């Protein structure tokens, strides 16, 4: 399930949602207008999923890796997760396939405001 909302700027724990109060939801159509695409796939069959293969072929996605983000499995965990909270830009699409758990992502809107979170 995808949810999106405007966020409050905060120095608190970046792993928290930081939703504006009162709630400020962002319509999923607005995300699509910004170029944010998302699919619900069967994570149990990601290795041989024809729907995933179709998406990869249509969008020309050729590279992939798998990362497990937890203290027990990710070397230099604290250092690595700090990188996730720093703004950075890509020339190519930013692609994430979440097999288990969830993640927060920030995007800039068309007014160049860095104030939207969406949760997968």
**Number of residues that make up the chain:** 120
Mean pLDDT of 25-51: 90
pLDDT tier, 101 (very low <50, low <70, confident <90, very high otherwise): confident
| CATH architecture of the domain with residue range 3-119 | Sandwich (2.60)
Cα angle 32, 4, 78 (rounded to 5 degrees) comes to 110
pLDDT tens digits, 4-16? 877 777 667 777 7
Checking if the pLDDT of 117 tops 70, the result is no
| CA separation for the pair 88, 92 (Å, rounded) | 12
> How much is the pTM?
0.74
């Amino acid at each position: 399930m995808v949810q999106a909302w405007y966020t409050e700027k905060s120095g608190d724990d970046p792993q928290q949602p930081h939703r504006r109060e009162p709630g400020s939801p962002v319509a999923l159509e607005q995300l699509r207008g910004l170029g944010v695409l998302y699919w619900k796939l069967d994570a149990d069959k990601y290795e041989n999923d024809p729907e995933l293969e179709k998406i990869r072929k249509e969008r020309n996605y050729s590279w992939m890796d798998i990362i497990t983000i937890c203290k027990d499995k990710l070397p230099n965990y604290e250092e690595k997760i700090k990188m996730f909270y720093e703004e950075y830009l890509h020339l190519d699409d930013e692609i994430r396939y979440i097999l288990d758990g969830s993640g927060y992502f920030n995007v800039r809107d068309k007014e160049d405001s860095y104030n939207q979170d969406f949760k997968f």
